[in-house]
Amino acid sequence: MPSDAVPAPRGPAEAVSPPPGPAEPASSRRGLTETVLSPGGPVEAVPSPRGPVGGPVRPRRPAAAPVPPRRSGAGPVRTDSAWLPTAPCSPRGCVESARPWTGVPRAVLRLAALLAVVLLGVALLPLVARLRTRPRQRWIRRWCLAVVHTAGVRTRITGTARPSGGVLIVSNHVSWLDIPLLAAVRPARMVAKAEVRGWPVMGALAARGGTLFIDRDRLRALPGTVREVAEALRGGSAVAAFPEGSTWCGRAGGRYRGALFQAALDAGAPVQPVRIRYGSADGSASTAPAFVGEDSLLASLWRVVSARGLVAEVSLRPPLAAGGHPDRRSLAKAAQRHGGDPGPSAAGHLW
């Protein structure tokens, strides 16, 4: 080779493979390795893709990072929206399937009766809205209890709801059953995520009932929601909310968020904590009514009407004066502390 001949530079991703010796058979070259130079990375030895004649080199793709397994039980809260969390509970990991179930014919009858009661309420809502306050609230309470009972769930209610005036009712959140249960003790304007508006039948019913919808993905909408809730409280309405921000399976719960408690402070309205617990006839806890994770409404409905001996325990605690707390965080902590789990031996009349 002439002295001024300079080998052509190789690119950063070019593979270099020394030629085999003349005595080496072609078949033995299939398992050789090649040195691949990747930009900014270490030198890696990979099996040669060449055959006996050689060919283009296909660099090995980097291995994908392992995906951590999905948490099926309680754990750190994922925040999928701007200001409301998402519980780590899932139907597969948290919702039990070992409880006794009723027969399919009875479950179908319960589901049909439940849908009939809901549709009847939607149809009669314009007429009920014309009633005076007390008859209207009495009709709503009876209708909500009918919704729960036709689903095959008995109720045990302890404590007394504030009978009149503006009050912020806060509760833990386990199931879609929580909404008619709260309305059965004190009809109120619900605070719900905006997605509920699109639910079949239930969305229209919630909108006509004066539900205050929250856009979970718009942080800028939060102050407006707080003002709207405060105005409703000043006007003497009861407002019911689930400050955990998401449904939980019942065995675990989330921290109460303080945003909506600011509305109670601004309006000077009391806060009434409520605890909802689902159990079986023997008093043990049940997660069958839980509506969590990727669970669909239809799947949750079928699980409830198929369960046997479900009991919903609603425990109402004495109202907390908003003026006795300096800020929304301390008020939220006090409400969650006073609304703690009463345990499996809660007393009350079983309906």
pLDDT value at residue 248: 78
pLDDT at residue 340 greater than cutoff 80: no
d(CA 199, CA 318): 33
Name the pLDDT band for 302 (thresholds 50, 70, 90).
Answer: very high
Q: What is the pLDDT of residues 15-69, one digit of tens each?
A: 444 444 444 444 444 444 444 444 444 444 444 444 444 445 444 544 444 433 4
Per-residue tokens: 117: 């009661």
Q: What is the pLDDT of residues 233-289, one digit of tens each?
A: 999 999 999 998 888 777 777 889 888 999 999 999 999 999 999 998 778 888 889
CB 300 within 8 Å of CB 287 = no
Q: What is the pLDDT of residues 123-165, one digit of tens each?
A: 898 899 899 988 999 999 999 999 999 999 999 999 999 888 9
Q: What sign does the CA torsion over 281, 74, 92, 152 have? A: positive
Tell me how many helices (H) and strands (E) the chain has.
9, 11
Report the SS3 class of residue 106: helix
| Other Cβ atoms within 10 Å of 223 Cβ, number | 11
d(CA 47, CA 303): 54
pLDDT value at residue 186: 92
CB 205 within 8 Å of CB 125 = yes
